[in-house]
Amino acid sequence: MTKFLAPKGVSEYFPPRSELFEIVRDRLISPAKRAGYSLIELPVFEDTALFERGVGESTDVVSKEMYTFEDRGGRSITLRPEGTAGAMRSVIENNLDKGQLPVKIFYSGPFFRAERPQAGRYRQFYQVGIEAIGYGDPEIDAEVIWIADSGFKSLSLSKYELQITSLGDEASRASHRVELINFLKKLPLDEESSRRAKVNPLRLFDDKRPEVIEAMQDAPLLINYLNKDSTDHFEKVKKILSQLGISFTINPKMVRGLDYYTGTTFEFIHPMLGSQSGIGGGGRYDGLMSQLGGSDLSGIGFGIGVDRVLMACEAENSIADLVKAMDLFVVPIDEIAKEFSTKLVKDLRELGFACDLAYGNRGLKGGMKAADKSGATFALVVGDDEIKSNSGNLKNMSTGENISSTLTPSALATFLANFVRDL
């Protein structure tokens, strides 16, 4: 019989590593919730034209990496390669941009790019993203960066680096574009690079080929062409980040892989991940909403790769202790004890404790092996004697110590709660 395998290049999570994935995802989301961001649940496929217009035809994402297909109605559909374009479409369609501003939303889930699979680069990958739409304040730029930084710190990560720059406003980019195009005319660009340069010359700063990196070494940098408004905005962002205790370095060659970025742009790098060192980033995208048919509102957001952040946590060994152990594993040794234990475990679960019991006819020895494999903090053997006396011994699975307790849900709950408080 054929054995089916997951598609190549898919990041798939199953126990016990899935527990670490869940911790990373939830802790990245938590700071956004505390900052007033609300969940938006988006479809995983959209009209292809949304990404072509919103992400940019000059990007590798659109030109090379999208999973695009024709549905039964003859419509061109694409699996979402990133989150911002879909979020903007939803905000516009549901008139959120006409209500209370700023619109502050977060999302998480799988995204898709047809890339060559390698460590940290997948065809199906997971992201947490946020968007803040409606105001162009430098304080909001700093807030968005703080949310990402706070999520990393909550995972005890310490070796990452924040790189920031400004891609300026429209006037600044127009001034720089003239000089950059004049510079590029002197370079022996291949056909593909020439095509990309005509659409968006900034794309060449994002080219990873050594020969292109070398050729762009002396290219004029956009950060040196910022007008007063863009310079003042960026200076305020840097000042606020310093006040928030967030360290950063300026990377004037950063453009990131999407065409919609303007103004404040940033990326978090983790040096222990090799060539796929980016763990998340984002920036301001003034003009994107109006380009997609909505209000002419400012916006800023980020996308954080859950897969790569998990890899960074594993590289730093920062979250193994965050996995919550099962509180109690019950080992019933006969049929009557099974009935008693099933009710006991149900009551304790409803009181908020993580509990399980040994299923099947394992006997005492097999049941204790199951308790050990479960990782539970305590094990409780239940038989006729324990039921008749309404008491039993809780075995601390780490120390081997036995502690006597009444076998009522309230008594066991009090003991387990006090034990956790005493840790």
Cis amide leading into 332 (omega within 30): no
CATH of 17-169+227-320, one of 3.30.930.10, 3.40.1280.10, 3.40.50.720, 3.40.50.150: 3.30.930.10
User: What are the E-state strand segments in 339-385?
Assistant: 355-357, 378-382
The 3-state secondary structure of 65-116 reads HCCEEECCCCCEEEECCCCHHHHHHHHHHCCHHHCCCCEEEEEEEEEECCCC
**Is residue 346 within a helix (H) or strand (E), and if so which, with residue range?**
helix 335-350
- Span(s) in the chain for CATH 3.30.930.10: 17-169+227-320
pLDDT at 421: 52
pLDDT at 276: 84
CB-based contacts of 289: which residues, under 8 Å, 6+ apart? Answer: 88, 91, 92, 97, 133, 295, 296, 297, 299
The token pair at 160 is: 């990452």
pLDDT at 323: 87
- Helical axes 306-316 vs 17-34, angle rounded to 10°: 110
pLDDT at 251: 94
- Bridge partners of 281, per DSSP, are 267, 303
pLDDT at 199: 76
- Span(s) in the chain for CATH 3.40.50.800: 324-422
Other residues' Cβ atoms within 10 Å of the Cβ of residue 306: 24
Q: What is the CATH code for 324-422?
A: 3.40.50.800
Tokens 């940290």 map to which residue? Answer: 120
Q: What pTM was computed for the model?
A: 0.90
Distance CA 269, CA 346 (A): 45
pLDDT at 423: 46
Distance CA 240, CA 228 (A): 18
Return the DSSP state at 201: G
Over the chain (423 residues), the average pLDDT of each successive run of 10 is: 90 93 98 98 95 80 88 95 95 94 97 87 95 96 98 97 94 90 86 78 82 86 94 98 97 79 94 92 92 92 97 95 91 93 96 94 91 94 94 94 93 88 50
Distance CA 58, CA 197 (A): 8
Distance CA 115, CA 56 (A): 18
CB-based contacts of 129: which residues, under 8 Å, 6+ apart? Answer: 83, 84, 87, 106, 107, 108, 282, 301, 302, 303, 304
**Is residue 384 within a helix (H) or strand (E), and if so which, with residue range?**
helix 384-389
Backbone CA torsion sign across 52, 57, 59, 60: positive
323-to-66, 159, 328, 371, 418 alpha-carbon distances in Å: 35, 21, 15, 17, 19
Distance CA 19, CA 323 (A): 7
On whether the CB atoms of residues 205 and 219 are closer than 8 A, the answer is yes
pLDDT at 204: 83
